[in-house]
Structure formats: structure tokens, C-alpha cells
Structure 1
């Protein structure tokens, strides 16, 4: 949190923007963005855009006034670039990134923008329902296309390029849907932070297929995206990031429908129990639960331990562990695999837990992993 002496230049998002700060930021585009949001609301076209920039809804982030202005400048530029298209189809997961792109597209093009979600075994049912609700919030037509990554053996093998094969298939279906509607431009929610580095083979597919990524192209990073989502009053402004279910399976372990189903059911249970940021990683029968660092105490509650052990055992997991490092994005990704000592350490921890449990001839139990998990994104 910023100190009191910095309050003049730093503010919670719900506080009025101080446009008199001594920065060189050009506020013209941001002001235009604000006026456009308000005018859309006054026209009665989009009630969801009632929030003006100086009354942005409170979200859990501290930013400077200059950062807000920068985010809105970038959003205005992204929206204006979309306005040059005859129509766009947005690859739409219902998360904050694709929701912001969809909102900018609808703000720029109205009914010439479409949201499209690809339904497959790797998409949790709850996420599909969320996507439908968010599209309805925005006012966009919502198209659902179906496909199966499991039909591609390159995906099933779960190598380091799994995301490339998934994204190629998924975005290919998006182009098919776009052409059915006479639309040439397909957009996605890749933001500038996504392109900062790390193991992102899916971005290769985005580039190869000439997908338009307005957030990335206009420099909107993760923080910018949440600022813009709050400015538009989107319900997903604070929604935690969510990756496809196959990301819960370590590289090299085959992706199967059974594994995807039990991971989805296990995470549905965590959601029911009130956790907000979580993953259940499937290490070939060993469930490694990750929750946000602020929720670790709740995860150690004895009632939860008993309940989660019993539920995950019902789903087919032989062993249940809690990762004391807490939630980490991409913790089973292949990035930095050259750091073999870390990977070996994590593998050894998991195997030790299995061996101890088997040697004691006990039923499924919950343990804690203290060693590093797999390298993160």
C-alpha cells in the first residue's frame, strides 16, 4: 500500500483521478475515452458502461494517476484501431483480458463484433457459463464452437509445445466461425505482459495465424487491463486468471479425458469451499493443491483437510498434498527445465510422499510439499 505522503500521486482506483499531477502524461486520449464511455451510457446503449473514469469501481490494486491515464490512453488507441475493422470476432474465454477486448470491440463496432468461445474437454464448465454471462453483460452475441484437442496426438503427448498445438486448433476454429459471419479479423486477449518472456509457445500460434491482439499491440499490460475493466464496470475486473485444464498436468504426462475430468471436479470442490485462487495439479495420481498465499491458513484447517482428502480420493487421486509455496502460475510448465536440480527436487518430494504412504499401507492422506515445485512461468 502506498504511504500517506505519496497519496497525492498515488490513489486507489475508486478515487478521482488527479489530472493536475506534475506528469507529462497526455490526457487527451484518456479524456476522450471517458467521454465516450459516458456518452454510450447516456444513449442507453450499454448500461454496463455507467462507470466513468473518475468513479472507477474499487478493485484490489494501487496505482498512480499517471498509470490510470496511461492505461486509458492505450485503451482508447486499441478501441480506435478496432473501429477501422469492418467487423471482428473475439476469441472469448470470459476472463478479464478477452472481456476487455470484447468490450472495446463492441464499443467501437457495436453489432459488428462477436464473442466466440471454443468448447472442449480442457475448458471447465463453470468457465463456459461465466463466458456466456460476461458476453451478455457486454451485449455481444456469443457463439460457441466445439472441438477436441484430444484428437491431436501432439497435444495428448503433452510436450513442451502443447500450448502451440492447442492454440492452433482453437484459433483455427475461431477463423472458421468468423468466415461463417463474413468477418476477416479474429482478436484475442493476449496482453503486453504475456509477451514479456517465459515459455509461451501459444504466442507462436497467435503470430503464425495473424491473430489481432489489440492489448499487446497497444502496450496494455496486466495492470492496465484491470484498470480498463474497472473503468467499464466489468464484473470480471478482479477475476483471477484461469488457464485451461491441461495446464494442471506436468509436461510429459499424457493428457487424458479422465485426468482432465478429475482435475475439473477437484477444482470445483475448492471453489465450493470458498477458495478464490487455486489449482489442483495432477502428478499421475498425486493431487498437488495450490491456493493463494493468503488462503494457506484456511487450507490447513483440519475440517478442510478431511473433506478435501475424502473428496479427491473419491475422484481417483491416491494421494493429496498441499504446496506450501502457494499458487504459482505455470508451476508444471517446462520453462527453465535446464534447472534440473529444482525439477529433480520437486519430483523427489512427490515420489517420497508416494513411497511413505505406500510403505505405511495407509489410505489417501494430505501432506505438504515444502521443496520447490516445478519451475514457474
Structure 2
């Protein structure tokens, strides 16, 4: 077991702090994407609050069907009340132009919808799953979180991604080794128009790579060019499957298919800011 997978006393203390914080909130609606962080948060909230917990998942063309299916399956397995809301980002004014505050526009609209559900159902708080690692990157969505009074329990209790994976592993959550995911709109260079067609191209391309057994990955889109990011240790695998990947991505609508020699890294589109 790697050192970062060991659950230390300090980490157990953070977990106790998290449970105490959630208990104080009383009743919570969790914004649930089926990712590593929100799955861990939802499990803890449900363990602590039981029926005073609800999960809400936003369905849109920038959210792959596989993620929605995983969200449904997890809530069904755990017996968690689950609501799905339509949150079509492409209808938000200014969103399609992909401005630098795109994530803010999206999160504000989403959390307003979730906040409305929480109010109607009598829940005291709305919570989302950002962690301490999110503080180090450009995250305009966190501005909307702050403005709307949405709780961030994992950040409140100083939990990092490695902490969440370690605890998730110990708890037997299937997401403990799941790849990090962000909405498909994050694959577009700022200023490039986001369309349903191009979101579909990215979704199909990433699904192909996942089906081929790649782990942490992104397919960034620049016009009709795909820039594939995988972990450096999987570069050779990408080259071995080169012909199939190129053929399929051209079938999906890409003209050029490239490999990023820096490899996968979080928020690479923010490097231009």
C-alpha cells in the first residue's frame, strides 16, 4: 500500500471533524456528480444524517451518460433519496462563448436550482464536494459557491484528494481509484464556442480511451484538433493503439489527433490565463 493510502490518526481526526460538522448542519442536499469527492461526501452525509440527506445530480450534454448512470446506481445501492435536475449549460447566457468565468456561470445556475429544491423540501443546507487541492487552481465556480452560501465540508475540514481516496478505499467505496473528472466543457480552450456537437466528439473520444483501459486522461479540443493527455507511464500504450485511436477520432469529427508530451495535468486549459 502506498504511503498516501495509509489512514493516519491525523486523517481519522479530520474524518471525525467532518462528521461533527455535517451533524451540526442538520439536513443536507448534496450536489452529486458520482466523482471521487462527491461520492465520499454523500456517503458520509448519509451515514450521519440518514433520511435528512438528499442527492441531486444535474443532467446535461456536458455530463457523460456513464457518470449519470453511476450516480443513479450508487444512490439506489445505498438507499439515498436522489433527484435529477435538467441543467443545460448551453442555454445560459454567455456560456457557449466559453468566457474565463464559464464555470462561475454554470455553478451559479446549478446551485440556484439545487438551493430551490432544498428550500422546497425543507433542507437546511446545500453542500458540494470541492477539496483543498481545488484551492490551488483557477476555480471561478468556487465564487458562486461562496456567493450562494453553499457548504464545502471537505475544504472546511482540510481534506485533500489523497485523503479522500485513502478514506474511500478503507470504506470500500468503488470510487477510491476512479479517475478525476470535470465537466466536458473544461476541454475547450477559452473563447472557443462550445456546442453540443463538439461536446459529443469529446465524450466519444474520452469513452474510447477509457474502454481501451487508459486511466487518468483528457481529450482537449482546439477547433477540430484533439489534444490527448494521458499519464506519462501510458504514453507507450497510446502509441501502440495509435492507428485505432486516430481512425476513431476522425470518425467522430476531429481532423487532427495529437498527443500532449507533458501528459495529463489538472486544468491545463488554465495555462493560457
Separation in structure 2 between the aligned mates of residue 214 and residue 246 of structure 1, nearest angstrom: 25
Does structure 1 retain, via aligned residues, the 8 Å contact 2:5–2:165? no
The answer to whether 1:263 aligns with 2:205 is: no
Larger relative helix fraction: 2
The correspondence of residues 182-193 of structure 1 with structure 2, limited to 5 A, is: 182-193=122-133
Q: Return the offset for 1:86.
A: 3.0
Inter-CA distance 245–63: structure 2 relative to 1 (3 Å threshold): closer
Separation in structure 2 between the aligned mates of residue 69 and residue 142 of structure 1, nearest angstrom: 33
Q: Deviations over 1:244-288 (max 9, x none)?
A: 000111111011111111100111111111111111111000011
Does structure 2 retain, via aligned residues, the 8 Å contact 1:118–1:174? no
The correspondence of residues 147-226 of structure 1 with structure 2, limited to 5 A, is: 147-195=87-135, 197-226=136-165
Structure 1 unmatched runs, 5+ = 1-11, 13-60, 338-377
The correspondence of residues 1-377 of structure 1 with structure 2, limited to 5 A, is: 12=1, 61-63=2-4, 68-195=8-135, 197-301=136-240, 304-333=241-270, 335=271, 337=273
Q: Return the offset for 1:231.
A: 2.4
Inter-CA distance 225–152: structure 2 relative to 1 (3 Å threshold): same
Separation in structure 1 between the aligned mates of residue 187 and residue 171 of structure 2, nearest angstrom: 32
> SS state of the match for residue 288, structure 1?
strand
Partner of 1:50 in structure 2?
none
Q: Return the offset for 1:84.
A: 2.1
> SS state of the match for residue 153, structure 1?
coil
Partner of 1:28 in structure 2?
none
Separation in structure 2 between the aligned mates of residue 289 and residue 215 of structure 1, nearest angstrom: 30
Q: Choose 1 or 2 for highest CA Rg.
A: 1
Q: Would you identify which runs of 4 or more consecutive aligned residues in structure 1 move more than 4 Å?
A: none
Does structure 2 retain, via aligned residues, the 8 Å contact 1:96–1:239? yes
Normalised to the residue count of structure 1, the TM-score between the two structures is: 0.70
Does structure 1 retain, via aligned residues, the 8 Å contact 2:42–2:55? yes
Q: Return the offset for 1:192.
A: 1.7
> SS state of the match for residue 159, structure 1?
coil
Instruction: State how many pairs are aligned.
Output: 273
Does structure 2 retain, via aligned residues, the 8 Å contact 1:87–1:113? yes
Normalised to the residue count of structure 2, the TM-score between the two structures is: 0.95
Separation in structure 1 between the aligned mates of residue 176 and residue 5 of structure 2, nearest angstrom: 18
Separation in structure 2 between the aligned mates of residue 260 and residue 219 of structure 1, nearest angstrom: 34
Q: Return the offset for 1:306.
A: 1.3
> SS state of the match for residue 332, structure 1?
helix
Separation in structure 2 between the aligned mates of residue 81 and residue 290 of structure 1, nearest angstrom: 38
Separation in structure 2 between the aligned mates of residue 135 and residue 72 of structure 1, nearest angstrom: 25
Does structure 2 retain, via aligned residues, the 8 Å contact 1:71–1:225? no
Q: Return the offset for 1:225.
A: 1.1
